[in-house]
C-alpha cells in the first residue's frame, strides 16, 4: 500500500537548522510530485511548495523562499525539507503530500523552535 513516512519530531533553538525526511513506498517515486504543507498548532493549512521528483526542480510559495530547501534522495524514494536559521514562527507540524490529488499524506513532523 502507498505510504509516506516522515521523520520524527524535532526540538530546535532559534538560528539552528532542521532537515525533515519523507520516505515514500508503494508506488514509483518519480511518477508523482511531492508537496509540503505547514500547519501551526491549532491553525489552518498552508501550502509551502512542491518538488518535481523526476527533475528535482523545486517550486516555493512566496512565504517559503530563502530559508527553505526541498531536495530528493530519489534512489531512496525520499523527499527532504531543510529549514535553516529557524525562527519561533517556524514552530509547526509539516506534512509531505503526494501530488496529483493530494490523496496521500505523511503523518506529519512537529518542529518546535524554542530557546
Partner 1 sequence: EIVLTQSPTTMAASPGEKVTITCRASSSVSYMHWFQQKSGTSPKPWIYDTSKLASGVPDRFSGSGSGTSYSLTISSMEAEDAATYYCLQRSSYPLTFGSGTKLEIK
Positions touching partner 1 (CB under 8 A) are 35, 44-47, 49, 59, 61-62, 95, 101-103, 105-108
How many CA atoms lie within 13 Å of 21's alpha carbon, on the beta-carbon side? 10
Distance of alpha carbon 1 from alpha carbon 46, whole angstroms: 27
Count of CA atoms in the C-beta half-sphere (13 A) of 18: 23
Shortest Å distance, C-beta 55 to partner 1: 17
Of 74 and 104, the one with the shorter C-beta distance to partner 1 is: 104
**Is the Cβ of residue 74 or residue 111 nearer to partner 1 in the bound state?**
111
- Minimum Å gap between C-beta 29 and partner 1 is 19
3 state SS of 97 = strand
The cell numbers describing 49, all together, are 511548495
SS3 breakdown of the chain: % helix, strand, coil, rounded to 5?
10, 50, 40
* Least spacing, CB of residue 16 vs partner 1, in Å: 26
Residue whose CB is less far from partner 1, 81 or 106: 106
Measured from the CB atom, is 27 or 108 closer to partner 1? 108
Please report how close the Cβ of residue 15 comes to partner 1 at its closest, in angstroms. 27
Cα 71 from Cα 51, distance rounded (Å): 7
Amino acid at each position: 500500500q502507498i505510504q509516506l513516512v516522515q521523520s520524527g519530531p524535532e526540538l530546535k533553538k532559534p538560528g539552528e537548522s532542521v532537515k525533515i525526511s519523507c520516505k515514500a513506498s508503494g508506488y514509483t517515486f518519480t511518477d508523482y510530485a511531492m508537496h509540503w504543507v505547514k500547519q501551526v498548532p491549532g491553525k489552518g493549512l498552508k501550502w509551502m511548495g512542491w518538488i518535481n521528483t523526476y527533475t528535482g526542480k523545486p517550486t516555493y510559495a512566496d512565504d517559503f523562499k530563502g530559508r527553505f530547501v526541498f531536495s530528493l534522495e530519489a534512489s531512496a524514494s525520499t523527499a527532504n525539507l531543510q529549514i535553516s536559521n529557524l525562527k519561533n514562527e517556524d514552530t509547526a507540524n509539516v506534512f509531505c503530500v503526494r501530488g496529483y490529488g493530494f490523496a496521500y499524506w505523511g503523518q506529519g513532523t512537529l518542529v518546535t523552535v524554542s530557546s
